[in-house]
Structure 1
Amino acid sequence: MSRAECGCAESGKQTRDHRDLDLMHRFDEEDLVLVALARAEFAETLDARPVRFVHAHPDGRESTCTRCRYGRTGVPPRRSST
């Protein structure tokens, strides 16, 4: 999510037009995401795996999907500050 999108989400106000959905999903649930997008008539338009992939709907909406790996505890791993 970009800083602009984060600010929009945090403030609860729409700061620009949004025609897309940024979706972060668990790495091990990608197949479920793909099925849900296909059922909603979204087709893949960009495959930049392992980083992200994009699906588009015939009406112009898009979904940008980013994988997230979680540790055994179900919490994303922490990045080192070094």
Structure 2
Amino acid sequence: MPKYYEDKPESKRPCSGLKEDLKTCLLESNCVRKEGKTPKECLQPGGDVDSHCRALQYSFFECKRSLLDTRNRFRGRKGY
């Protein structure tokens, strides 16, 4: 479950809420806890991570990609 959100007052960086959620999900996953792998190793294509963490990874990627999209300079970020 998500614990952090984009409109958190302390976070001034975009996508920081998704980053925190992804980090928490990875640290609590079986890949890190039981197998002793690093979160980076678990996120590799052959890594054993549940679908919730993969969805957070994709959402974080899309959020970061939207920051580079030149159309968003005029329209603003998606969902806001």
**Richer in strand (by share):** 1
More relative contact order, 1 or 2 (CA 8 Å, 6+ apart):
1
Higher share of residues assigned helix: 2
Same fold (TM over 0.5): no
After TM superposition, the score normalised by the length of structure 1 is 0.29
TM-score where L is the length of structure 2: 0.29
